[in-house]
Amino acid sequence: MTEHLGGVPGDWAEDTSAMSHGEGFVMMIQTMLNAPGFYAMDEPEAALSFSSCLHLVAVLHELARSGAQIVCTTHSPTLAATPGADVVEVGAHGFRRAAWEELDLVDHWSRFLKSPQAYLRHVIDADDVAGTR
């Protein structure tokens, strides 16, 4: 996407081909989302590393402080932690507002990081999972 949009007049001057995919994506986001307005984002974390997700949190937070409204679907506990976000969790229960620490995705990520084997054993042969530390 950055190769097709990079250098388009009015967008950005930076050469996105000289950046990592995540760096180019964050630079595009910063350039395109730079004023109050209404923004809809669908899993913007897909292209991003952990540190780039943190940078995106800063961009979203500043946008919101400027008066922008942002609707963002995510599977990222990092993005869900954006200060001031009104988080609505969607699941078998339907829609519900939830605090960050109450989110199913936060619970699952926390448990996975503490014990990957508990999750991997369901998708990988037990002998291969046993060596995971």
| Residue 43: HSE in the Cβ half-sphere, 13 Å Cα cutoff | 3
pLDDT in tens, the chain (133 residues): 555 555 554 466 777 777 777 787 777 888 888 888 999 999 999 889 999 999 999 999 999 999 999 999 999 999 999 999 999 999 898 999 999 999 999 999 999 999 999 999 989 987 777 665 5
Q: What is the pTM of this model?
A: 0.78
* Burial of 65: CB neighbours in 10 Å, binned 0-12, 13-18, 19+: exposed
Looking at residue 78, what is its pLDDT?
96
Domain boundaries, the chain: 2-86, 100-133
CA distances from 73 to 51, 70, 80, 87, 98 (A): 19, 10, 9, 10, 14
Please count the residues of the chain. Answer: 133
List the structure tokens of 89.
């969790």
CATH tag, 2-86: 3.40.50.300
